[in-house]
Amino acid sequence: MNLHEYQAKEIFERYGLPVSKRSLIKSESEIDDAINQIDFSNGCVAKVQAHTGGRGKVGGVKLCKNKADIEAFVNQWLGKNIITIQTDELGLPVQTISLEELTDIEKELYMSFVVDRDEKCVSMIVSEAGGMNIEEVAEKTPEKILKGKLNHEYIIEDQDIIKLSNSLGFNQAQHEQFKNIVDGCSKLFKDLDLSLLEINPLVVKVDGNLHCLDAKINIDENALYRQTELEAMRDASQEDEREYEAKLNDLSYVALDGNIGCMVNGAGLAMGTMDTIKLYKGEPANFLDVGGTATKERVSAAFKLILSDANVKGILVNIFGGIVRCDLIAQGIIDAIKEISVEVPIVVRLQGNMSEEGKLLLNDSGMNVIGEDSLQEASKRIVELVK
Ligand code: GDP
Ligand code: MN
């Protein structure tokens, strides 16, 4: 789960990380108030709050010299969507704008903490090439990216910090500040069960002090049960509506670009199903795991979810009944079709526990549902049908 920049900065402050003073605008009428809450003597930076980076490149971060500049910015963005290289073509809704006190920048650096699966630890990454797309830096000038490892107590060895600090060209005072920032980030990362913390850019100000100009935090979804304060900060408007709906129903759903909706029980089988569709030159519209203990109700919810995607031109149901009873799944499918008018073809493969009973139910339902016994045949069939 992501947070907004302003929320991440509130948390940064608690860990002693230097961020700019801010105020928020959620409606046009709040502009005066927001200006009064910060030092506006040299103007400020207006920043669109949305779960994306790359805002600067599309005008979502702007220096404002006076109130008129802010009014123009608020008019341009509030209630609109922001589209960046990190969003899809629809972009994300802008419901909040943050005004930040101005920072005079000498140099922009990059700093992040990530769960590093290759190294089996949390790694800290720094680069002198800040403010840019880090994937691009990694590709074109990998020598500009440096890494340090955190141990299992989330501590990075002093000598490693010194190495990274030297590579960034810090003097003694800056090194001390850097060390404090690294300590604060490490602690924050551990306490809040993060999977990513990114400061891009971390800047050296004209006065020589280090400052976190941007803040991105990603929390491990699986830890939210014990991060209730963060969970309360969730902004569902920034998430894929269907993925969010799925979470509420305990379904694992990931939206994809294709036109064949998939409903499968078990993540491994779901992956195998997507592979098989691809093998027959079809494109899955989603990954959907209804779980090992799929019930009639969840199948029904899953069906509605798949059909809420207008790109879906056909559905493939692939259920392997180990514990799950296929007849209950079949009933769930029938109920769902009755409740929501389904106009796309449906191919169903049921195997295992009570599958014969399930097939009978489907056949007797009088509905346009095609039963297949093998995954290959079922996949081939749905690919042909959506053509
Ligand atoms: P992003 O584009 O979504 O990653 O948004 P950032 O918060 O990183 O801002 C983009 C860029 O705006 C930064 O890399 C800076 O160059 C610039 N910027 C942001 N805040 C300030 C500021 O206070 N002063 C100045 N001079 N530039 C700023
Ligand atoms: Mn940034």
In tens, the pLDDT along 183-228 reads 999 999 999 999 999 999 999 999 999 999 999 999 999 999 999 9
- Which tops the pLDDT comparison, 250 or 65? 65
Among protein residues, the one whose CA lies closest to atom 14 of ligand 1: 131
Which whole number is the average pLDDT over 112-136? 93
CA of 200 to the centre of ligand 2 (A): 4
Backbone angles phi, psi at 94, to 5 degrees: -105, 110
Residue nearest to atom 12 of ligand 1 (CA): 56
Q: Could you identify the atom of ligand 1 that is nearest to the CA of residue 84?
A: 3
Rounded to whole angstroms, how far apart are CA atoms 256 and 208? Answer: 46
Return the minimum-mean-pLDDT range out of 40-44, 108-112, 304-308. 304-308
pLDDT at 116: 95
Number of helical H runs and strand E runs in the chain: 13, 18
Q: How confident is the model at residue 14 (pLDDT cuts 50, 70, 90)?
A: very high
CA 313 to chain centre: 26
Given 100, 110, 253, 372, the catalytic residue = 110
High-pLDDT (> 90) share of the chain, %: 79
Contacts of 191 (CB under 8 A, 6+ apart): none
- Cβ–Cβ < 8 Å for 112, 200: yes
pLDDT of residue 240: 84
List pocket residues of ligand 1, CB cut-off 6 Å.
45, 53-56, 61, 100, 102-103, 105, 108, 131, 200-201, 213-214
Give the nearest ligand 1 atom to 47 CA.
7
**Whether 110 is catalytic:** yes
Q: What is the pLDDT of residue 209?
A: 98
Residue 23 β-bridge partners: 99
**β partners of residue 197:** 113, 217
pLDDT of 293 over the 80 cut: no
Does this model's pTM top 0.75? My answer is yes
Instruction: Give yes or no for residue 334 having a pLDDT over 80.
Output: yes
pLDDT band at 333 (very low <50, low <70, confident <90, very high): confident
Q: Over 80: is that where the pLDDT of 294 sits?
A: no
Alpha-carbon distance values, 323 to 8, 250, 295, 333 (Å): 43, 18, 11, 18
Q: What is the pLDDT of residues 127-145, one digit of tens each?
A: 999 988 888 998 999 999 9
Ligand 1 atom, smallest distance to 101 CA: 23
Comparing 346 with 322, which gets the higher pLDDT? Answer: 346
Q: Is the separation of the CB atoms in 263 and 288 below 8 Å?
A: yes
Mean of all residue pLDDT scores within the chain: 94
CA 17 to ligand 2 centroid distance, Å: 16
Own/partner pairs for 152-155, CB < 8 Å, 24+ apart? 152/121, 154/122, 154/186, 154/187, 154/189, 154/190, 155/186
Residue 312, classed as helix, strand or coil, is coil
Backbone angles phi, psi at 365, to 5 degrees: -75, -15
Domains in the chain: ranges and CATH: 21-101 (3.30.1490.20), 105-231 (3.30.470.20), 240-386 (3.40.50.261)
Rounded distance between C-alpha atoms, residue 330 and residue 348, angstroms:
9
Contacts of 275 (CB under 8 A, 6+ apart): none
Query: pLDDT band for position 367 (50/70/90)?
Result: confident
User: What is the pLDDT, as a whole number, of residue 317?
Assistant: 95
Task: State what percent of residues in the chain have pLDDT above 70.
Answer: 99
| Higher-confidence position of 249 and 272 | 272
Q: Could you tell me the distance, in angstroms and rounded to a whole number, from the CA of residue 85 to the centre of ligand 2?
A: 13
Sign of CA dihedral 67, 72, 78, 83: negative
Start-to-end CA span in the chain (Å) = 36
- pLDDT at residue 329, as a whole number: 87
Give the pLDDT score at 289. 93
What single string gives the DSSP state of each residue in 318-332?
A: EEEESSS-HHHHHHH
The alpha carbon of 52 and the centre of ligand 2 are apart by a number of angstroms equal to: 9
* Residue 245 confidence (pLDDT): 85
Which residues, 6+ apart, have CB-to-CB distance to 20 below 8 Å?
A: 9, 45, 100, 101, 102, 103, 211, 213
* Active-site option among 6, 198, 253, 372: 198
**Alpha-carbon gap, residue 39 to 140, rounded angstroms:** 40
